[in-house]
């Protein structure tokens, strides 16, 4: 059984990797969520969870700067992800990695070339150094022998691992993972959970993970926030193991105990 690592820092100003204050997202008259505020501490695995349609993936898109919020501020590694522009925005985006749900590997490139791409695009390292580092990253995720394969030759779990290797190619202090366990069998999912915990512990990477997989949440998360579609915002925050045992909120209890709410 994998034990989630303790957060590497205390929640002070110097230990905050990301901070959201009063964030809302609306599409026309539809409010997805509002008044979302929380901090992500450096060195922890922070999970955004909730049922379908609650806005988990939308919130992740706001945090990585794919779209601006309707209201509120989002600070990533000390900088406002919405306000920063030009070269400063480019530099900020190089300081965090992203793994999308599908893996988003380029099918025309080998696994090694996919992992090398961020370094080829954003550094002046010579090709031999880029290849050496890319192979090292693949070794970290257990894919040393798959470097020359094409994405079409990989299993679902291997694609996720390769995407994580690419996300950490530039040694970012912060990595976002969108539904890393989606579509994986329980054994493969457990192996991916173990990898996330190991990278957080051994490399000090801060992870923000969007998932609704209960087993993964209880394995990897130091802290969570739970979004709710009906409440249009955060209904719980804290250690998921404590929330499971102590929360009296019916939706939170239903999620952690796999039961229906009164309305369900």
**What CATH number has the domain bearing residue 183?**
3.40.50.300
Beta pairing class for 174-178 and 233-238: unpaired
Domain for residue 220, yes or no?
yes
- End-to-end Cα, the chain, rounded Å: 32
With DSSP H G I counted as helix, E B as strand and the rest as coil, what are the percentages for the chain, rounded to 5? 40, 25, 35
52 phi, psi to nearest 5 deg: -60, 140
Domain for residue 262, yes or no?
no
183 or 126, greater pLDDT: 126
The pLDDT of residue 9 is: 40
Cα(194)–Cα(192) distance, rounded to whole angstroms?
5
Determine the average pLDDT of the residues in 199-214: 93
Burial class of 175 by CB neighbour count within 10 A (0 to 12, 13 to 18, 19+): buried
Domain for residue 8, yes or no?
no
Q: What is the pLDDT of the chain when averaged over all its residues? A: 90
The pLDDT of residue 6 is: 42
The pLDDT of residue 181 is: 87
Domain for residue 188, yes or no?
yes
The pLDDT of residue 260 is: 63
Indicate if the pLDDT at residue 205 is higher than 70.
Answer: yes
Residues spanned by the domain of 219: 13-95+172-257
Q: Compute the Cα dihedral for 7, 10, 11, 13 and give only its sign.
A: negative
The pLDDT of residue 4 is: 40
Nearest to 41 by CA among 16, 4, 71: 16
Domain for residue 84, yes or no?
yes
Cross-strand pairs, 40:
18
With both helix axes pointing from N to C terminus, report the angle between 111-122 and 156-167 in degrees, rounded to the nearest 10.
Answer: 20
DSSP 133: H
Split into its structural domains, the chain has a count of 1
Which residues does 28 contact at the CB level (< 8 Å), separation at least 6?
none
pLDDT-derived band of residue 212, with 50, 70 and 90 as boundaries?
confident
Angle at 186 between CA 246 and CA 188, to 5 degrees: 125
Domain for residue 187, yes or no?
yes
Domain for residue 243, yes or no?
yes
Q: Are 191 and 197 in contact (CB under 8 A)?
A: no
Determine the distance from the C-alpha atom of residue 190 to the mean position of all C-alpha atoms in its chain, rounded to a whole number.
Answer: 16
Indicate if the pLDDT at residue 37 is higher than 50.
Answer: yes
pLDDT digits (tens, 9 = 90+) for 241-260: 999 999 999 999 999 988 76
Indicate if the pLDDT at residue 262 is higher than 90.
Answer: no
pLDDT digits (tens, 9 = 90+) for 141-160: 999 999 999 999 999 999 99
Domain for residue 50, yes or no?
yes
């Amino acid at each position: 059984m994998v034990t989630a690592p303790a957060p590497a820092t205390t929640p002070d100003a110097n230990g905050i990797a990301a901070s959201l204050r009063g964030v809302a997202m609306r599409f026309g008259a539809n409010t997805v969520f509002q008044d979302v505020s929380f901090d992500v501490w450096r060195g922890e695995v922070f999970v955004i969870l909730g049922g379908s349609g609650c806005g988990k993936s939308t919130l992740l898109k706001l945090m990585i700067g794919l779209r601006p919020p309707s209201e509120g501020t989002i600070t990533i590694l000390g900088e406002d992800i919405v306000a920063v522009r030009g070269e400063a925005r480019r530099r900020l985006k190089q300081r965090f990695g992203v793994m999308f749900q599908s893996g988003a590997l380029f099918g025309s490139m080998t696994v090694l070339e996919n992992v090398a791409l961020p370094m080829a695009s954003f550094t002046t390292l010579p090709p031999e150094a880029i290849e050496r580092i890319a192979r090292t990253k693949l070794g970290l995720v257990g894919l040393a022998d798959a470097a020359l394969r094409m994405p079409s030759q990989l299993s679902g779990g291997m694609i996720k691992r390769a995407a994580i290797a690419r996300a950490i190619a530039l040694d970012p202090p912060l990595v976002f993972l969108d539904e890393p366990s989606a579509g994986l069998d329980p054994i493969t999912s457990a192996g991916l959970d173990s990898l996330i915990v190991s990278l957080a512990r051994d490399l000090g990477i801060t992870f923000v993970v969007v998932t609704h997989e209960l087993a993964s949440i209880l394995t990897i998360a130091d802290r969570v926030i739970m979004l709710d579609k009906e409440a249009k915002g955060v209904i719980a925050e804290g250690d998921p193991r404590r929330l499971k045992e102590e929360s009296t909120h019916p939706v939170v209890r239903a999620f952690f105990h796999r039961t229906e709410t009164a309305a369900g």
